Structure 1
């Protein structure tokens, strides 16, 4: 019942770096900056702004030009050939190489290695240091190094002071992958708070998964009752909520929720229609069960097999529509060739005073029994 929210299928966008981001890395690095501008930048940042040396800057400029021409391999050759002597220049070039590998794709190991080299001295400019931490954590998530990814997501938030909903979601995801289900709730709640202005469904999925896998169904219901108010257009939430009500045996609420989902056109599967029909029957509404099944058997959504026709016949019988019930018992008898269904058809036709039709049904029932 919970297949829709299997977090093995819950993935993040692959780490990559756009031209705009790379340009931002290079801004102010490739040419000698105006002294007054540099001084103003230093005043705004927590750490002094540094620039690469002129010789390194020229080579970095060439690498950037190669990148602009979609020649990432060429850019990497230029960057790896740089023999930087200053610690800042080494860190800066290492970060640029890491970004190139991340952009190239399928080179996470190399990107992670160069990011660690760039971050270790802790001397990159503030924006560069923060972005490198974030990229490192994302790459570690991709390579399933969830423990270190967690550490670096927290390090990024501590360093930048940002309260980022997407990062809290990733932290909750990492805890899920580490089977630390109880530790998913706090970051999921923080993500929900961070997304307050523009609600996002992902943290709710994470909370729901945590509670479901720990069999905390009442808490899961609380999540669903909240989220259905925020995202009423999402049909999945409605069907999930009704299923959780069934898990805690709250049949009236299960029926109410699934009935509302049906009226909104959210039920599209045979199993959902059959569940709603069963709930109608168990809540003393056999007529609704019968009309629902009849409609969707006719449409083809619900299979016209012996099991479903039997349920339909029983529903019409319970609703005291004797003639209609007899018709479906007759159909069921022809499907199965079983004496009991002919007998039931005959008795109902007799009850409805359709004696001429009742006799052949009863006789067929007797013939089948006599052959056994």
Structure 2
């Protein structure tokens, strides 16, 4: 929004210069302006060009005090307003431009230029309601003239509405501005999108963001915003597809963003792709190879039923941060994967935080591995130690009865 205002106000000086020039030309071609006032206006323009603002102001005020004709007064007030604007005295410029319009002495074409400049000045002075009212009047009058509003006029009105948070009235002029332009500004789309967001119109946001991603495909934020809009609409597949685009384009290098994408892939039941994304990111150094992230990699492979890779990742994480919960998970997964020798090796040394019950449970798990390896005596020995665990005692006793039978 601030960028749009900067551009609009930067055009104000050019508008004012053109406005003064057109006034002089109009005055020369029409008989309404007195010869004296016409000569004053020309003299003042030369003084302004030399930046002799005090002299110019003195001439204009003197002429205004002696003027009796409506057209002369209106032109002189317009010139004074222009002079104040050149000195960045916007409040005074507003005062005289408003007087010039109110006098109804200016030709329609010139009055429209003054009115448009006044709308911009009100906006610059944060007098947003006055800016809106002035611009609405400008649009109303423009319907009766041959000169039709350009995109910039619609953007100006939309910007004023945005400043008073009247987002419903931002939409129509911004859409018209974009429609009229062969090359709409990126900021115009952003203002329209912001209005839709404030109104909770996420489907319309999607339309704007599609335009932005088409025109600026390498700007990652538009893809992530598009994904967010789809999420608001509960269109999760489209949200994921939008989020994948910056990754596929090589734009996603931030750790949080990559983790978000990989978690989203897993959430959408695509765990193998989640694992691939996370593993690649760790290899490239975009995601820290921490115990937490490596364990997460293991969980993705686990969901994908890639048990060998899951166990390998879990074990790598365990080496970085050995805990009982991790050891229990890995041991059970090894049993599920029929890696009985692996169970015996891994469960041989309990984790540092394992208590007596945990150690007894490890014996129960190793007992099952021994049984599968047809080492009955070893299995029985392990189960007898496992009964010390309250949790597995009933199962261990059942195994003992079976093995001894």
* 1:11 Cα deviation from its structure 2 partner: 3.4
**What residue is the counterpart of 1:98 in the other structure?**
81
Q: Distance in 2 between matches of 1:325 and 1:343?
A: 14
Q: Distance in 2 between matches of 1:343 and 1:66?
A: 87
| Structure 1 residue 284 corresponds to structure 2 residue 269 | yes
Q: Distance in 2 between matches of 1:353 and 1:52?
A: 107
Q: Deviations over 1:164-203 (max 9, x none)?
A: 22221222232222232222222222223222x3344444
**What residue is the counterpart of 1:298 in the other structure?**
283
My pick for the range that moved more, 235-244 or 217-226, is 217-226
The correspondence for 1:156, drawn from 138, 156, 160, is 138
Q: Distance in 1 between matches of 2:94 and 2:308?
A: 74
Q: Deviations over 1:239-282 (max 9, x none)?
A: 22211111222111112222234323343543432332223212
| Structure 1 residue 187 corresponds to structure 2 residue 173 | yes
| Structure 1 residue 82 corresponds to structure 2 residue 76 | no
**Structure with the larger RCO, 1 or 2 (CA within 8 Å, 6+ apart):** 1
**What residue is the counterpart of 2:115 in the other structure?**
133
TM-score (norm 2): 0.72
My pick for the range that moved more, 8-17 or 236-245, is 8-17
8 Å CA contact 1:119–1:132 kept in 2: the answer is yes
The correspondence for 2:48, drawn from 64, 70, 82, is 64
My pick for the range that moved more, 202-211 or 348-357, is 348-357
| Structure 1 residue 25 corresponds to structure 2 residue 20 | yes
Which protein shows a greater Rg? 2
CA 1:302 to 1:50, structure 2 compared with 1: closer, same or farther past 3 Å? Answer: farther
* 1:340 Cα deviation from its structure 2 partner: 1.3
Runs of 5+ in structure 2 lacking a partner? 359-405
**What residue is the counterpart of 2:301 in the other structure?**
316
CA 1:65 to 1:218, structure 2 compared with 1: closer, same or farther past 3 Å? Answer: closer
Q: Distance in 2 between matches of 1:101 and 1:308?
A: 64
The correspondence for 1:11, drawn from 1, 5, 16, is 5
Q: Distance in 1 between matches of 2:100 and 2:237?
A: 60
Runs of 5+ in structure 1 lacking a partner? 1-6, 43-47
Q: Distance in 1 between matches of 2:352 and 2:23?
A: 97
8 Å CA contact 2:262–2:277 kept in 1: the answer is yes
**What residue is the counterpart of 1:3 in the other structure?**
none
Structure 1 segment 218-257 matched on structure 2, within 5 A: 218-225=203-210, 228-229=213-214, 232=217, 234-257=219-242
8 Å CA contact 2:15–2:117 kept in 1: the answer is no
8 Å CA contact 2:227–2:242 kept in 1: the answer is yes
TM-score (norm 1): 0.77
**What residue is the counterpart of 2:159 in the other structure?**
173
